[in-house]
A and B are shown apart, each in its own frame.
Chain A
Amino acid sequence: MNLRRHLRSATLALTANKVRTALTMLGIMIGVLAVTLLVSVGDGTRQFVETSLQSLGSNLLSVVPGRFEARRWGYVGAAVEKPLVLADVELIQRRATLITAATPVIFGNATLRHEADRRSTSVFGVAPEFLRVRRLRVSGGVFFTSQDDQAHRRVIVLGQTLVHSLFSHGSPVGQSIRVGSERFRVLGVLEGKGRSLGVDLDDMALIPTSVAQDVFAQRGINQILAVARDDTRPELASQQIESLLALRRRGERCFTIQTQDDLLRTFSSITGALSAGLFAIATISLLVGGVGVMNIMLVSVRERTREIGVRRAVGATRRDIMLQFLIESLLIALFGGGLGLLLGVAIILTLRGALDELPLQLSPTTGLLALASSLLVGTFSGVYPALQAARLDPAQAVRHE
């Protein structure tokens, strides 16, 4: 019996029991839908993280206090920590020839108030170089200068979200606001960066480093951000910073320098694990669908025992019967899987249209994975019932009531 006849035979058998076939397909459809959606979320998250990190620039370096080791699931740190100080930043700015700009970062939370409006936000103490390092722009007013920093002037630059929450009308530039109990003058406003993954990138305020040290009562700094020169490799710049800082600490390396590649590797391993976890969940739902198909196929073999007998009587071999039932389960799985994939793509496109910040990624791999997994489920759930059908004794099968 050739494949075309097998397909026709299987299609006739499946269409003869439309409701049962549809219900069986539903299980596979839900399984493949889960695979499509979850793989899409996994891929989307990974791509989002990579794009976000790349948008910071591949030559961005971050120095943090403490020694951290990169591990598969992230960074493992030592408890002993010696803080970074402003002298470290000055040393880098003065002596690191492979660096174009460096800025200290001190961060904390504070409540900002203007007249009756108030908002709690992240406040960063930075140097003027921060703009260049983080590729930010000022859309109104100006950014503070090193003179402002030296003079400990209470000046502030606001992100767009703060502008909208604290200044419902009029420009904030030149106006006065309170950060905690201290009064600050708004020097400028940052250009909007938008939202990403539910995080508002405009919900922050920048103040001079010296002022941040006063406000948050800390001498040490939380992070140094630096940009490597375009004509050098970030790892070389990282090595240069490392030797400079180590020299100042008499060889003790109690700090960690991360390049974007390091971060990318770490995040990739985390998002990879996330994808694997999501895929495992999807596989379970697909397996449940597969068990459903197997169950229905076993019932079908029992119900159609006499039909099997008749087919054997008119010339079907064991192999023909096995192929027929196997093709039936494969067709159920493929059609169910195809519908699940289509529904998944429709849901992803609808969601992406409605909420563009959702990390949903559609790729040909997702489609291939969904169809391959449904084929696998079809085979897995069809083999046993097909073998049962093929093993039936034709003489008994034809007499089956």
Chain B
Amino acid sequence: MTEPLIAVRDLIRDFRVGGQPLRALGGVSLDVATGEYVSFVGPSGSGKSTLLQVLGCLDTPSSGSYRLAGQEVACLADEQLAQLRNYKIGFVFQAFHLLPRTSVLDNVLLPFSYRSGKATAHEALALEALELTRMAHRRAHWPNQLSGGERQRVAIARAIVTRPPLLLCDEPTGNLDRRTSREIIEVFEDLCQRLGITLVMVTHDADVARRARRLVRLVDGRVVYDGDPRGSDL
């Protein structure tokens, strides 16, 4: 049996807020196979964003085990975590997080700033990513010249430009209207199908969550449901 892309066991993440201890994740265990499309849902403060950040190697768990593509990441150093994020993970955020006064193309090229290689080859990959999200014609524009939906398409292009196996999205449709949300989700689904990317998405939107093939519900830092979206009460 092949090892899942994500294998999390008894993950605990504690914080101190105003001097008081706070347990954001209270022993989460789950596996995500390569090519899966998973939604994380739950009320505010349920720990879904914290879990996404641990999975994205932006945060490290207080205890427990997290294996990404067969590699234990809980004990990696800063440089190794950065390399893992660069090669294995793509991020898409709710507020797009594009660099202001920087062209669309330069925004998409950002992950290549942190690895070696030929600039021309990188540019070709960036243009290809923009073609996939249908934003190549806007490559010379600045983010403030784009609509919300267009900005998110650029952010998706940046996330997939290095062809990572894992795409992590934190409420990617939270700042978009219904029609644009649907379009963006279709872009995600299309990319996952074409590129075989594993998609993990945190969302508040029931319609978006329902489109995933698997739904994980978190409450108070614990997984309370993990299965078919149709079986969950959204």
Residues of A within 8 A of B56 (CB): 313
**Whole-angstrom distance between the alpha carbons of A309 and B91 in the complex?**
11
User: Separation in Å of the B125 CB from the closest CB of chain A?
Assistant: 14
List 17 interface pairs A-B (beta carbons < 8 Å), by A numbering. A2-B116, A5-B113, A306-B97, A309-B97, A310-B91, A310-B99, A311-B110, A311-B113, A314-B110, A315-B114, A315-B115, A317-B82, A317-B114, A320-B114, A394-B58, A398-B91, A398-B97
Known: A394-B58, A395-B53. A316 touches B114 (CB 8 A): yes
Residue on B nearest A317 in the bound complex, by CB: B82
Q: Please give, as numbers and ranges, the residues of chain A lying within 8 Å of B106 by CB-CB distance.
A: 12
Considering the chains assembled together, what is the distance between the CA atoms of A346 and B216 in angstroms? Answer: 69
B residues engaging A (CB < 8 A)?
A: 49, 53, 56, 58-59, 78-79, 82-83, 85-87, 91, 93, 97, 99-102, 106, 110-111, 113-116, 158
Q: Which of B53, B82, B106: most chain A CB closer than 10 A? A: B82
Query: Contacts A318-B78, A398-B93 known; A313 to B58 CB distance under 8 Å?
Result: yes
Tell me the A residues contacting B by CB distance below 8 Å.
1-2, 5, 8-9, 12, 15-17, 306-307, 309-320, 393-395, 398-399
**Contact present for B85 and A314 (CB under 8 Å):** yes
Establish whether residues B113 and A1, one from each chain, have CB atoms under 8 Å apart when the complex forms: yes
Q: Is the interface of B mostly helix, strand, loop or mixed?
A: helix
Out of A15, A17, A315, which one reaches B111, CB within 8 Å?
Answer: A315
Q: Is the CB–CB distance between B113 and A312 below 8 Å? A: no
In the A-B complex, the 5 residue pairs with the closest CB atoms: A315-B86, A16-B101, A315-B114, A395-B59, A314-B111
Nearest CB on A from B108, distance (A): 10
Q: Beyond A311-B113, A319-B79: 9 further Cβ-contacts under 8 Å?
A: A15-B101, A16-B99, A16-B102, A314-B86, A316-B114, A317-B79, A320-B114, A398-B58, A398-B93
Q: Is the CB of B97 within 8 A of A312?
A: no
Instruction: Provide the residues of chain A in CB contact with B115, threshold 8 Å.
Output: 1, 315
Taken together as a complex, chains A and B put the C-alpha atoms of A315 and B112 apart, in Å, by 9
Residues on B with beta carbons closer than 8 Å to the beta carbon of A319: 79
Q: How far is the CA of A227 from the CA of B106 in the complex (A)?
A: 76
Cβ distance B167 to chain A, nearest Cβ, rounded Å: 12
Bound form: Cα–Cα A317–B113 in Å: 11
Residues on A with C-beta less than 8 A from B53 are 395, 398
- When distances are taken between beta carbons in the complex, the residues of chain A under 8 Å from B86 are 314-315
Instruction: Decide: A312 and B110 in contact? CB cutoff 8 A.
Output: no
Q: Is the CB of B99 within 8 A of A317?
A: no
Contact A12 B102 (CB under 8 A): yes
Chain A positions within 8 Å of B100 at CB level? 16
CA distance in complex: A307, B107 (Å): 11
Which residues of A lie under 8 Å from residue B114 when comparing CB positions?
A: 1, 311, 314-317, 320
- State A314–B56 Cα separation when bound (angstroms): 10
Measured in the bound complex, the distance between the Cα atoms of B158 and A311 in whole Å is: 11
Residue of A at shortest CB range from B111?
A314
Q: Which residue of A lies closest to B82 (CB)?
A: A317
Question: CA separation between A315 and B115, bound complex, in Å?
Answer: 8
A318–B78 alpha-carbon span in the complex (Å) = 7
Structural contact, B59 and A313, CB atoms closer than 8 A = no
- The CA of A190 and the CA of B47, in the complex, are separated in Å by 98
The answer to whether B83 touches A315 (Cβ under 8 A) is yes
Give A283 Cβ to nearest chain B Cβ, in Å.
35
Known contacts A317-B82, A395-B53, A398-B97; is-contact A312 B58 (Cβ 8 Å)? yes
B residues less than 8 Å from A8 (CB atoms): 113
Nearest A residue to B98 by beta-carbon distance?
A310
Residues of A within 8 A of B59 (CB): 393-395
Q: Which of A16, A314, A394, A398 contacts B158 (CB 8 A)?
A: A314
- Docked Cα-Cα span, A298 to B101, in Å, equals 20
Cα separation A67 to B183 with both chains bound (whole Å): 99
Contact status B158-A395, CB under 8 Å: no
Q: How far is the CB of B17 from chain A (nearest CB, A)?
A: 12
Question: Which residues does chain A contribute within 8 Å of B101, judged by CB atoms?
Answer: 15-17
Scoring A17, A315, A317, A394 by chain B CB atoms within 10 A of each residue's CB, the highest score goes to A315
Complex Cα gap A391–B93 (Å): 22
Best-surrounded residue of A320, A393, A398 (most CB of chain B within 10 A):
A398
Q: Residues of B contacting A320 with CB < 8 Å? A: 82, 113-114
Cα(A399)–Cα(B170), bound, Å: 10
Q: Which residues of B contact A395 (CB under 8 A)?
A: 53, 58-59
The CA of A159 and the CA of B114, in the complex, are separated in Å by 76
Chain A residues positioned under 8 Å from B79 (CB to CB)? 317, 319
Q: What distance in Å separates the Cβ of B129 from its nearest Cβ neighbour in chain A?
A: 13
